[in-house]
Amino acid sequence: MKKLIILLCWFYPIIDAGAQTKAVDGVADRKLWLSYMDKIARPVLLNLAEDKLKQNMPVSLAEHIDNKDGRAKVAYLEAFGRTLSGIAPWINLEGGDAAEVKLRNQYREWALKAIGNAVNPQAKDYLQWNGGQPLVDASYLALALVRSPWLWEHLDENVKKQVVDALKITRQTVPVYSNWILFSGMIEAFFCKYNLGDDPLRTEFGIREFTQHWYVGDGMYSDGMSFHLDYYNSIVIQPNLEVILQVQGEKKKTYLREADRVKIIGQRYAEILERLIGADGSYPATGRSIVYRAGVFHHLANMAYIKQLPASLPPAQVRCALTAVIKKTLESPSTFTKDGWLNIGLYGKQPGLADFYITTGSLYICSNVFVPLGLPQTDEFWSAPPLKWTEAKIWSGEDVNADHALDIH
């Protein structure tokens, strides 16, 4: 592990939090994002690439974990799938300054080797693909490969076959009647995108339940038959729906009407999420899975990445809001272990915040806040001058437009 600590000398040094109180341009923001992305992703990708993830990754479990042995075994797939899904758009990107290109090339190398070990039954780091939680986290690998055609295209043919074999194992698992049906749908989106024989029924089930039965109003869906006041619309539901519908539209020209409606709903929910970000980058610690840190803003980050933000949210405003969240959730000295792994918590190490299913691996879903790194530095998201976000404007005395609910039937 001493080697790992030495390797955590990142290409981009983390900018001092105090200095960030001054307005900075998008170039500085991007370097900050890259440095934090690297700090989070490096231990996972490097160790799995070297076939040493199970050897070196510590696995902490929630105090009231429901299945200690089972959760511990799947924690490695959790860490890998979730990390890769967040950094995949950036891996897929080309260009940037010399330091960024060098860093991306290193991650491309690690990612290809990591995928190979994860699906190779002969590797020490062969991951668990059968069972309930593996369905969830296999879907994050599928999401990563959908977001990064570069990764899929550069895999060895034998590794591709092993990826398909691993993802097909998940079809043996019946998803929980909740947001989980979108995990099955995401795996089918991968099969659909690369012409590998998808199951239209699994896709139909997820899309129909959410678009026809589970929309509850004002930009939000219920999580199955019941509505929960948490961040699952952002963590899973709306980003997954968008990706699944996007793949279906591109490949089969189906669900186009549903996609239009989901976009409108998603734009309203993006407004809600942006308004939840306080002037200091904090946000309400409401509902389950709050230890996912900045990953609870997956939807807002994804809407910026796919360039579907509403007119009310200039991209630079969202960039500055998400930058504040990233810093707030990662600035505590106890956020990481001495060897660079994430601790359970929202602001530092707070194990009491963990739900019964939380492991160290679960925490790496925070990587999904980084999906806008898939936009080039020249994109407006990065190039436009900094803008205050809504709460920062209001609580500094600025006048802003009133908020209004979305009425859609």
Whichever domain contains 181, its CATH number is 1.50.10
Reported confidence tier of residue 245, pLDDT bands at 50, 70, 90: very high
> Is the pLDDT score of 4 beyond 60?
no
> Is the pLDDT score of 190 beyond 50?
yes
Q: Name the residue range of residue 314's domain.
A: 11-394
Q: Looking at the domain assignment, is residue 407 inside a domain?
A: no
Q: What is the average per-residue pLDDT within 148-155?
A: 98
Chain mean pLDDT for the chain: 94
> Is the pLDDT score of 277 beyond 60?
yes
- The amino acid occupying position 60 is S
Provide the pLDDT for residue 25: 84
> Is the pLDDT score of 381 beyond 90?
yes
Reported confidence tier of residue 24, pLDDT bands at 50, 70, 90: low
Q: Looking at the domain assignment, is residue 6 inside a domain?
A: no
- The CA-based angle 59-64-69, given to 5 degrees, is 45
Distance (Å, rounded) from C-alpha 266 to C-alpha 234? 9
Q: Looking at the domain assignment, is residue 205 inside a domain?
A: yes
- The amino acid occupying position 275 is R
Give the rounded percent of residues in the chain with a pLDDT score beyond 70. 94
Distance (Å, rounded) from C-alpha 3 to C-alpha 50? 13
User: Residue 347 class from Cβ within 10 Å (0-12 exposed, 13-18 middle, 19+ buried)?
Assistant: middle
Q: Looking at the domain assignment, is residue 4 inside a domain?
A: no
Provide the pLDDT for residue 137: 98
Tokens encoding 188: 């089918």
Q: Looking at the domain assignment, is residue 298 inside a domain?
A: yes
Query: Is the Cβ–Cβ distance between 222 and 213 less than 8 Å?
Result: no
Three-state secondary-structure class, residue 238: helix
Distance (Å, rounded) from C-alpha 230 to C-alpha 336? 25
- The amino acid occupying position 118 is A
Beta-sheet strands, E only, within 205-261: 215-217, 220-221
> Strand 220-221 relative to strand 215-217: parallel, antiparallel, unpaired?
antiparallel
* Interior/surface letters 205-236, b for 16+ CB within 10 angstroms, e for the rest: bbbebbbeebbeeebbbbbbeeebeebbbbbb
Distance (Å, rounded) from C-alpha 102 to C-alpha 110? 13
Tokens encoding 69: 């042995």
Tokens encoding 84: 């890769």
Reported confidence tier of residue 272, pLDDT bands at 50, 70, 90: very high
Tokens encoding 37: 């992305």
Q: Looking at the domain assignment, is residue 399 inside a domain?
A: no
Q: Looking at the domain assignment, is residue 401 inside a domain?
A: no
Tokens encoding 264: 């409108």
Q: Looking at the domain assignment, is residue 214 inside a domain?
A: yes
Q: Based on the structure, what is the number of domains in the chain?
A: 1
| pTM of full prediction above 0.85 | yes
Three-state secondary-structure class, residue 59: coil
Distance (Å, rounded) from C-alpha 115 to C-alpha 360? 20
How many whole angstroms from its chain centre is CA 61?
21
Query: Is the Cβ–Cβ distance between 365 and 235 less than 8 Å?
Result: yes
